[in-house]
Amino acid sequence: MEILRTPDSRFANIKDYPFEPHYTVVKTHDGSDLRIHHIDEGSKDGPVILCMHGQPVWSYLYARMIPHLVKAGIRVIAPDLPGYGKSDKPAAREDYSYQRQVDWMNQWLVQNDFTNLTFFGQDWGGLIGLRMVADNGDRFDRVAIGNTGLPYNPDAPESMIAKVKAFRASPLKLNLFSMQKQVTKMKGIGKDSGVDLFAYWQKYTWENPDLPAGIIASSMMEPRNKLSLMLELFTGYIGLRNVSPFRTQLTKAYEAPFPTPAYKMGPRAMPSQVPTIPDQSLEAQKKAWAFFAKFKKPFLCVGAGNDPVTDGFEKIWLAKVPGTKGLPHANIGGGHFFQWGKAEKLSGILADFIRAN
């Protein structure tokens, strides 16, 4: 398989990311070497938290949280998923199946022999990380999740499945704003309209080879002047995304892993791998849910509560997972990527969770 590697020079001027890189090489299905990056900060004698990011971001998302967690005596492990950050980037769409991503990260976990872990995952960090917990339960002492889930919808109506598939294949062209208009109508996990509205995100990301990952991330984490945002989009459209004078520090950071559109297959392909309708991941999701239905270790739900895509995620877990009982579950604001806007508060909650359990 073809694997791309972002030059180190792309990360040379990233603000507030002074962390030493660590690399692990795992094997893909065809025997290729795939290098996965992670950061490892804090006392080696402290309790260990594994923080996993989602799409289209990377471990930079935790840059504001790491100092707070380290100050609390916690060792922080934060990997870049394959396709993101400083990790290698497989170049083909089929490389990003849900199962392959779980397999790669399971290898990474075992090769580093991380144990006695607290897990925290958000977005795709939860989808992949929760499967890692289910596959390696003895390595985890407790779990916390936010703005994420473990999608399992075996009884989706055939009419809905057909509607979503037809929409994804339709000739309709979406831009950032027309996509956002539909996705923001979502009312959280479990609502009838969620699957078909989420399809707008799946279609938009796949059909944009030069997906504006930096703009998407920054627009969800910081106030953006609409004019500067549109000008930055325009400069990207004419091939100047990496030199646009309208970029913010955040757009620079989240565009850094992608020197050219060829490097963006992960952010483009992964939304369509979210199993909102039954697909090849159905049995593995069923198995994972069976694991968590018996999970008695501490399991904390802490989310934003103002994210249209994942609002209400905690209700499923509170109803099904024994380990959630009696814990101080909370919604703290901050939007989908609340690790950035609520870094200190979220860090405090996770530190308290570790100390109390």
Residue 307 designated active-site = yes
123 counts as catalytic: yes
Sign of the alpha-carbon dihedral angle for 338, 340, 344, 346: positive
The encoded tokens of residue 321 equal 């997972």
Residue 354 structure tokens: 């570790």
Rounded (5°) CA angle 228-234-236: 105
Grade residue 319 by pLDDT with cuts at 50, 70 and 90: very high
Q: Is the pLDDT of residue 199 over 70?
A: yes
40: annotated active-site residue: no
Q: What is the mean pLDDT of residues 43-47?
A: 95
What are the tens digits of pLDDT across the range 51-78? 999 999 999 999 999 999 999 999 999 9
The answer to whether the CB of 151 falls within 8 A of the CB of 98 is no
> 55: closest CA among 310, 355, 241, 282?
310
- The tens digit of pLDDT for each residue in 128-147 reads 999 999 999 999 999 999 99
Average pLDDT, the chain: 96
Q: Is the pLDDT of residue 193 over 80?
A: no
Walk me through the domains of the chain, giving residue ranges and CATH numbers: 3-153+280-356 (3.40.50.1820), 158-273 (no CATH)
Query: How do beta strands 33-41 and 330-331 pair?
Result: unpaired
Q: Which of 80, 88, 135, 307 is catalytic?
A: 307
For residue 34, how far is the Cα from the chain centroid?
19
Within a 10 A sphere around the Cβ of 248, how many other Cβ atoms?
20
**Single pTM value for the model:** 0.96
> d(Cα 183, Cα 203) in Å, to the nearest integer?
12
User: Coil, strand, or helix at residue 24?
Assistant: strand
According to the model, what pLDDT value does residue 82 have?
A: 98
- CA–CA distance, 19 with 40 (Å, rounded to integer): 8
The string of pLDDT tens digits covering residues 209-228 is: 999 999 999 999 999 988 98
Query: Which residue in 80, 88, 103, 123 is the catalytic one?
Result: 123
